[in-house]
Amino acid sequence: MTASPDQSRPVQVLVLAGARAAGDPLCDAEGVASKAVIDIVGQPMLSRVLRALGASRADAPAWVLGLEGAALEAAADGIPCQPLASQGRGPASSLIRALEGPISTPLLVTTCDHALLTPAMVDSFLAKSIASDADMTVGFAERSVIEAEYPETKRTYLRLGGAELSGCNLFYLASPAALKVIRFWQSAEQDRKKPWRIAWRFGPLTALRILLMRSGHEAAFALLSRQLGVRVAPVLLPFAEAAIDVDKPGDLVLVREILTARDA
């Protein structure tokens, strides 16, 4: 069930940049049509993500899903990238369509609102993902790591195996088998902020084991892998900023403060 990835193969990159079907209050507040063009200390948000990816070990240029034409040109700010039209009703279905088209594995997936992304984060995530030999990996940061640096930030935490983890919007699809996970996520996408509902989809007994077990997050993912029939592994990152995306006005304020201090 393991992927046994070829480490010499180039890793393609896909950046999710589609708009929410129900609208985005953050875009409304900033007066823009797409989150990707929001100004982050003098640079469009997507361009910061593309710069980090371009300086990493990932294969450039990246594919950008959900933006085309003038909108993509403005968001990319002159950085080469490849447009890909959204063809689904959400990120999961659009990703499935992309993998049925020009995109192939191994594939790194991230989002346009990952404004604090750095090449070190990308390289650390890819190295650990490939070493895991899993079909798919998901990036996380522990609550203790995040709150040690930014106690004021409000994140959504997933409690697994006794650990409190926050997603880092970094995903590695090592093999086509990862599509099983994406198809499951497509069915559970509306519950992404309610982990107990996602766990309940495996049945009440499995859900209770996932939610109550205290044997570590890796054991929890091993159980999930058996249920899905594909090996999924967590990758813990030591970077607090990896878990801070721009999802709310408060996130935008914090990200601008961090980058202003970093640039200074």
- Residue range 79-106: average pLDDT? 85
**CB 43 within 8 Å of CB 75:** no
Task: Confirm whether 81 is domain-assigned.
Answer: yes
Task: Confirm whether 218 is domain-assigned.
Answer: no
Structural tokens at position 240: 């607090």
Task: Confirm whether 217 is domain-assigned.
Answer: no
| pLDDT tens-digit readout, 155-214 | 888 777 677 889 999 999 999 999 888 887 776 555 455 554 555 344 444 444 445 455
**CB 71 within 8 Å of CB 19:** no
pLDDT at 69: 93
pLDDT at 21: 57
Mode of pairing for the β-strands spanning 232-236 and 136-142: parallel
pLDDT of residue 85 exceeding 50, the answer is yes
Task: Confirm whether 214 is domain-assigned.
Answer: no
pLDDT at 154: 86
Task: Confirm whether 213 is domain-assigned.
Answer: no
Domain region containing 62: 12-140+167-190+231-254
| pLDDT tens-digit readout, 211-250 | 545 555 676 777 777 878 889 899 999 999 999 999 889 9
pLDDT at 120: 97
Task: Confirm whether 63 is domain-assigned.
Answer: yes
Looking at per-residue pLDDT, the higher value among 128 and 8 belongs to 128
| pLDDT tens-digit readout, 112-124 | 999 999 999 999 9
Task: Confirm whether 30 is domain-assigned.
Answer: yes
pLDDT at 7: 54
Residue 14: helix, strand or coil by DSSP? Answer: strand
Task: Confirm whether 24 is domain-assigned.
Answer: yes
Residue located via tokens 């030591």: 238
Query: pTM of the predicted model, to two decimals?
Result: 0.85
Distance between CA atoms of residues 195 and 197, nearest Å: 5
CATH assignment of the domain containing 93? 3.90.550.10
Distance between CA atoms of residues 150 and 76, nearest Å: 28
Q: How many domains does the chain have?
A: 1
Mean pLDDT across the chain, nearest whole number? 84
- Residue range 110-135: average pLDDT? 96
Q: Residues 6 or more apart from 134 whose CB is under 8 A from it? A: 2, 3, 174, 231, 232, 233
